[in-house]
Structures are given as C-alpha cells and as structure tokens.
Amino acid sequence: MRLKDPFSLKVVGMTKRTNKPRKPRDEESSDEVSGLTCQHVSKAVDLSSVKKAVTSSMWSMCSDCLRERTMIDGEPASGHDILVCLKCGFQGCSQSESQHSTKHHQTLHPESHCITVSLGTWKAWCFECNEELSTHCNKKALAQTLDFLQKHSVKAASDAFGWTGLKEEPSDYADQSRGKSPVNNCTLVLVKGINNLGNTCFFNAVMQNLSQTHMLNDLIQDVKEKGHKLKICPPGALTVTLPSPEPLTSAMFLFLHSVKESGKGPANPKILFNQLCQKAPRFKGYQQQDSQELLHYLLDSMRVEETKRIKAGILKSFNNPTEKTADDETKRQVKAYGKEGVTMNFVDRIFVGELTNTIMCEECEHISTVKEAFIDISLPVIEERVVLPKYDNCVHFATLLTEKKSDKVYTSARKQMLISSLPPVVTLHLKRFHQAGMNLRKVNRHVNFPLILDLAPFCSASCKNLVAGERVLYSLYGIVEHSGSMRGGHYTAYVKVRWPQRRTEQPNRRNMAGPREASSATQGQWVYVSDTNVHAVPESRVLNSQAYLLFYEEML
C-alpha cells in the first residue's frame, strides 16, 4: 500500500504557506518558483549530527522498520522511500503504512526536526512549510549537508557496491552468427551502479536498460575489432571486411564490458558520455536532460557510425571505385549492396521497426501510404484514463479523424498507423511532458502497463514475420522512471535480471507463446537502480513506478 509522499501530496495536518492557483493535481508547470526560502533552516539543519548518525547506521534503510521488522512488499523500506532528517540524521520511510519519517517529525520538536532530504530524488522538504526547498535560496548549511549525503551515498556504494545477478544459460545470438557452437559455460549478468557525473541520472537510467538488453550485449561483440566479416545478400552473396569501429561504438562496447566486471565498484561512464557529447553537444554542461532524447541521440549516432563502416567495407570489396573509375554495373552493384547492407547494423537489427501511415480521403476515398522507421513508439498519457491506451483509442494505432488540405480546400480524412515491421526490442515512450499554452507541464499520474504485451492487434496485415491469427508477445524487462517535477527531478531504472532467450530454429516464425510459455518467460529478479544505489525489489513495486520509458523484448 502506498500512502502519502511528502514530495507529491500534502501532509495530513499541515497547511500551505501560500495559496497558489489551482491546476491539475498531477501536473507540474515549468514556470513555478524554483524553491522556497525557509525560516526553519537555521534550527533544523545540523551537519555534524547528520555525519555522526549516518556513518554509524545502516545506509538507506528505515531505522524504525528494521527495529520493528516492518516489511513493505516483503522487504524493509529502503532506497527512494527513505527521508533523512537534517537535524539528527534519522533515516525514515515515507511510503509505508508506518510513515516513520512523518512520525519522527511529529514526535520530536517539530520546528527543529522538520527538514528532510529524499535519498531517491535528493530534494529537500520542510514539513512545517509543507514545501520543497531550494539549496540556492537558503543558508549554506543546507547545501553542505546535501553534498555530504550525496558523497556518502557514493562511498557506501563503492565500499560494498550493490550488484545483483542470476546464473544464466548461454546465449545463441552471437555464437551462431559467427559460426560457433553455443558455449556451455554459465555466465553472470550483473546489475552494477553507475557513477553520476553531474546531473547525468538521465543517462545512467537509459544505460542500465541497455546493459540488460541481451541482444545488444551479444551483437556488439561483432563490432569491437577491425576485420569483422559481414555477409550481404541479395543480389548475390558478398562477404565484406569491416574497418575498425568508430569512437562512440567502441566506447559503448567498453562500457558494457565494464558493467559485467565484478569487484570494481560502480561503473564509470565518462568515456562513453564524452563520446556522445562529441556527437550531440547539447548534452555538454551537465544540465538536466531528457532520457528519451538521450536514447534517440545515442542509438542514432551509433547507427550512423555503423552505416559508414559498412559502406566503407562494401567499397573496399570493389577496390574503392570512384565516380570516374566505376562502370555502370559496378555502380549498380555498390548501390544494391549498400541499400541492403546499411540495415544490417546492430542498432537496426535490435531496435528499429517500421510504421505504416495510411490516410484515406472520406470524399474521394483516395488512399495514400507512407512508411517510416521508428526507434520507439510515443504514447500520450490520456487525461481521462490512467491505463495504457486500448486498441480502439490508441493515438498511434487507431483510426483518427484529421484534416487534409488539397487544392486549397480542407476535407475530412481518416488516418491509421500500424506496425509493418517489428524489432526484437520495442521501446514505449509515455509522453509525460507536454505543452500547455506558454508553459511546459509534466503529467505525474500513474499509468498501468502490462508485463506481457501482445502487439498483434497493432500490426498491419502485411507485417513481416507475422502469421495471421498468432499473438505477438513481448515481455517487459526494463523501465526508466522520472520522479519529481519540471523544475527538478530524478531518473532511475528498474531492470529485470533474467536468463537470455534462445533463438528459434525458424527465424521467420515469431512467438506463438501460450499461457505456459508466457508465464515461464517472466521469471527473473527485478532490480531498482538509482545511480550507484542498487537493490532487488518485488514486482509489485515495479508496477507502481511512474514509468517514462518501457523496454519490451520479444518472447521467443
């Protein structure tokens, strides 16, 4: 049961300091004040007491829950449920039935134990003012205490860093593609914390999900070195030798490799992040950024690098012809192999699908069709509903009434968007940030999402590799969550440690999983990751998360 969270709801018995214009309860606006100047800081913040308390107690765990042996979903309150009192260093839960952080404030002198910091979002909150506080608008003691807690969190993770793993069956993705037999040795998939370089939680949350994308880990092995062989066909089989991988792709391989290493503390993403900033300068400066935009820039940049690499390999196979030296037949072959080869990069093979947009004029019934590639599918968080849109009202897949301009005359038209090609990994983006007049708002409401998603109703009749009447099941394995508001928030990740699936012997046949297969495919352990903070969580907590990105893999 999830009760009131002081960072999202009004605490019982407290009154607001100021009256603000009413707006939807679950929306935050970008034009709101950046934080409150609090009169209680001088009495309610004691850095020396906080240092003494947190260094002598279990980090990121509710002290009273441990003493009373109180459990939330079978586990003690921990992680982003914990608030630290900045007067005495008490760590108490905020979302359990016990509400120990609130009781701590009410039991002791309210005005001197009223300011807390969330270990999940690193936001300061005053119970007396019933407001979030800004470290810029208050005394230095508040910023210094927050800085100490953040450094202590990193140190605690480094000293006994959290990683979770399951004994895993061998994967067949890469071994079969390289002509090798599957290995018999079991490996261990780790969930390792990632150091925050400065407001890079948006990057860390995405990287946790990519680290748990088994197919990415397998296929990127092929691109790590110069001389990899790639077989392209049609029009006829052509084996090309690829040059060395480009900098960003190489950095991605090194990062994924470092995540698998045990015993070395949290992973350092600096090399990979710096390479990304070279491709996308907008991420320089360590400002708050958007995880969905980060995912697009990262995958697109690696896709461009691999496309360039494949084209270079094709040209080398034809002795690097130029416009002047190449005859018409050579030009035709280079173009044909290039068209086929560029889609064989690992980004396309894993993440890229195809949507078919069909528009029909209601007057003349003329039909036009346009195909477009997608890396993710954006879904609106509908005002009246708190569930993922159903088949009949989903904006991306349902039939909609639009206006079509032709010969300077507007006419009614119907638009339909269906999936015409499914990738092995489907990413759903919940559009929580939207424009409202001159302001940008965030929708904070909870959205229900399935653990097993059947995409068959959203596929076109000509969808590749889809047999009529079959279900197309995808299993959830990762989430990027955004908590907080437009003026300040925090990205975290939920990932499932699980066995990799084996490739079927019939590659053109998608899954036909029944109840038994669907149940067994969901086995694994969910893990919550907030930068360097890593711990296992029950499935119920995952389903209660405020999802922003959802990662689904096809069930084989």
Q: Per DSSP, what are the bridge partners of residue 359?
A: 368, 415
CA gyration radius, the chain: 26
| 3-state DSSP assignment of residue 445 | coil
Q: Label each residue of 244-260 as H, E or C.
A: CCCHHHHHHHHHHHHHH
Residues 466, 556: Cα–Cα separation, whole Å: 13
Q: How far is CA 68 from CA 77, 194, 298, in A?
A: 12, 32, 46
Is the sign of the CA dihedral 419, 420, 426, 431 positive or negative? negative
Any residues with CB less than 8 A from the CB of 53 and at least 6 apart, and which?
A: 88, 89, 90
Annotation says 535 is catalytic: no
- DSSP sequence for 36-67: B--TTHHHH--HHHHHHHHHTS-TTB-HHHHH
Pairing of strands 425-431, 377-380: parallel
| Active-site annotation holder among 201, 394, 459, 463 | 201
Straight-line distance from the first to the last Cα atom of the chain, in angstroms, rounded to the nearest whole number: 35
Strand partners, 194: 267
Q: Which of 228, 396, 482, 490 is catalytic?
A: 490
Assess whether 490 carries a catalytic annotation. yes
Strand pairing category for 377-380 and 533-536? unpaired
Active-site residue set: 201, 490
